[in-house]
Structure 1
Amino acid sequence: MEQYIDYLRDILENGTEHADRTETGTLRVFGRQLRFDLNAGFPLITTKRVWMHGVATELCWFLSGGTNIRPLLEQGVSIWTDWPLKRYRDVTGDDISQDDFEQRIIEDEVFASKWGELGPVYGKQWRHFEGPDGYVDQIATLVERLRESPGSRRHLVSAWHPAQTNRMALPPCHYAFQCFVEGEPGDGRLSLMWQQRSVDSFLGLPFNIASYALLTHMLAQQADLTPHQLIFNGGDCHIYTNHLDVVHEQLERTPHPLPTLNLTPRDSIFDYTIDDITIANYEHHPALRAPIAV
């Protein structure tokens, strides 16, 4: 994962300071690419611990079409809580703690339906993209095309719905991905490239890399293909100014060898659960913590 370390150095050395929506401040560059050979190991950052349980739980939630944080909280994953919690506090004036808010979401279905909803975010767009002629299940369509028309140039999924971004708690940062097949099912190779408009390079990007690597393995398994390359294309690639100290600490660490992914086969891409996903030989440096910008 030396290329990820080099990417962080690039932002530190070439980035310009800029104010941002969250009023935190960033160092930012524009237009960067990273490429990962999935045959060389699973691209889980080793210079800090990446929480694979959270990565896998979120991806399965996306694939389920979910847009409410309740199923995530029931599995101990709080990565989406900040946005509905902020909305609840702003609307009600109640300075509830995060723990109490999450407990109410879990215990009270009516409260969860009102305050745990994120709007038409990734799960909605991936599984129920709304058009003039009805809804499109983009993931089901993608799997079908990978199996039946592997050479197609239309293996594309979009999470960006211009007419609905103002209804989302957070418009999609990783807004689209495209698949590319070399060969045919049975002996072919699958690559995936995702597009990201806004990249929290310390907290978010390691999560995104692991998530799309896992998705590539799932899609390959469903289409009887071998995972090949994972490619990241970033637009506004930034480091928040309150992350600079931990980024410098991370740069002093030497990466370990990559771990491997074990994925239990399932009949449908929608059948995978957290129990089907295990990471072997994940040697990593201690976790590095930093606040999320909301």
Structure 2
Amino acid sequence: MEQYLQLCRTIMENGTDKGDRTGTGTRSIFGHQMRFDLSDGFPLMTTKKTAFRLIVSELLWFIKGDTNVRTLIEEKNPIWDDWAFEKFVKSGEYSGPDMADFGRRAAKDPAFKEVLDHEMDKFRGKILSDDRFAEAYGDLGPVYGRQWRSWPDGRGGTIDQLKNVIESIQTTPDSRRHIVSAWNPAEVEDMALPPCHTLFQFYVADGRLSCQLYQRSADVFLGVPFNIASYALLTHLIARETGLQLGEFVHTLGDAHIYSNHFDQVNEQLSREPRQLPSLAIDADGKSIFELETSDIRVEGYDPHPKIKAPIAV
């Protein structure tokens, strides 16, 4: 994962300090590419422990076309909870303590973090127990799963981009149209978070499948390690589905940034030596990509440095 560490160094040493939507502040560069040969091992970060189970359950959530955090909460995956919770606390139905700017406040104030954790636990419990509440506040709008599996075609129907791209890889492998887009301008304003990983394309050569992702906005410390592993996993799954060998994952970044409240964590990570990459194992004979469960997928030989905590910018 030296490519990732070099990206961090480049941003820290040569990036431009900028404001951002969250008010946190970032240091960023524009336009960067990393390439990962998937035959060299599974690119899961070793300089800090990265929660592979969360990566798997989120990706399968996308693949199944789901957009409601209830499914993720059932899997004990909190990745999207903050955006759903933000929707709730800004509603007229919320009557608890002031949760304005809760992400940054919790990072600085342990007492407030206890209050936030209590309110978040109540929120998760109600999402699981109350169908009306889950529909109102658990759904994130037409985010990734909706666009991948049910893109509105403008004629009252939908387009299953993921199913279509699998079929096109199988039937016309040399096509240059193996593309799935999550960026739907007509629905961006209805999404809890506009897609950061906006478009991916597959490429077949010499019986090997490669994938390139264009990511418009890249939270390099928290998000990018997940994105690398997620799209590497997607490439594994599509290769499995289409009977191809593994090629490369190519990660192209637009605005690649490190939040100002992540600088210390990045420096700590840069002080660590990378370790050997793990391997991926899929135990799901007879299951299609659309039938896979989190328990079907695991990594072997993963020996990372300890995790490094950092606040998410909402």
More displaced 10-residue stretch of structure 1: 131-140 or 152-161: 131-140
Aligned to 1:51: 51
Aligned to 2:165: 142
Correspondence for 1:151 among 174, 190, 194: 174
Pairwise CA distance, 1:107: 1.2
Q: Structure 2: which 5+ runs fail to align?
A: 98-118
Q: Which structure 1 residue ranges, 4+ long, deviate > 3 Å from structure 2?
A: none
Aligned to 1:224: 243
TM-aligned CA distance change 1:266 to 1:125, over 3 Å: farther
Correspondence for 1:196 among 212, 215, 218: 215
SS in structure 1 at match of 2:290: helix
Aligned to 2:42: 42
What percentage of aligned pairs have identical amino acids? 48
Quick one: distance in 2 between partners of 1:95 and 1:68? 23
Aligned to 2:64: 64
Mapped pair 1:125 → 2:147: yes
Aligned to 1:174: 197
Query: Aligned letter for 2:272?
Result: R
Query: Aligned letter for 2:268?
Result: E
Aligned to 2:100: none
Checking the alignment, whether the CA contact within 8 Å between 1:88 and 1:94 is kept in structure 2 is no
Query: Aligned Cα RMSD in Å?
Result: 0.9
SS in structure 2 at match of 1:72: helix
Quick one: distance in 2 between partners of 1:245 and 1:100? 32
Mapped pair 1:214 → 2:233: yes
Aligned to 1:271: 291
More displaced 10-residue stretch of structure 1: 95-104 or 172-181: 95-104
Checking the alignment, whether the CA contact within 8 Å between 1:43 and 1:210 is kept in structure 2 is yes
Pairwise CA distance, 1:267: 3.9
Aligned to 1:243: 262
Pairwise CA distance, 1:221: 0.5
Q: Structure 1: which 5+ runs fail to align?
A: none
SS in structure 2 at match of 1:144: helix
Query: Aligned letter for 2:144?
Result: Y
Quick one: distance in 2 between partners of 1:87 and 1:118? 9
Quick one: distance in 1 between partners of 2:229 and 2:270? 19
Aligned to 1:2: 2
What is the TM-score with the length of structure 2 in the denominator?
0.91
Give CA-to-partner distance per residue, 1:79-109, whole Å, 9 cap, x none.
Answer: 1011111121111343361111011101111
Give CA-to-partner distance per residue, 1:203-247, whole Å, 9 cap, x none.
Answer: 000000000000000000011001110000000000000000000
Checking the alignment, whether the CA contact within 8 Å between 1:126 and 1:159 is kept in structure 2 is yes
Mapped pair 1:286 → 2:287: no
Query: Aligned letter for 1:3?
Result: Q
More displaced 10-residue stretch of structure 1: 265-274 or 137-146: 265-274
Pairwise mapping of residues 98-109 of structure 1 onto structure 2 (< 5 A)? 98-109=120-131
Give CA-to-partner distance per residue, 1:98-150, whole Å, 9 cap, x none.
Answer: 11101110111111011101000000000000122321000110111111111
What is the TM-score with the length of structure 1 in the denominator?
0.97
Quick one: distance in 1 between partners of 2:147 and 2:45? 28
SS in structure 1 at match of 2:9: helix
Pairwise CA distance, 1:266: 4.0
Query: Aligned letter for 2:148?
Result: W
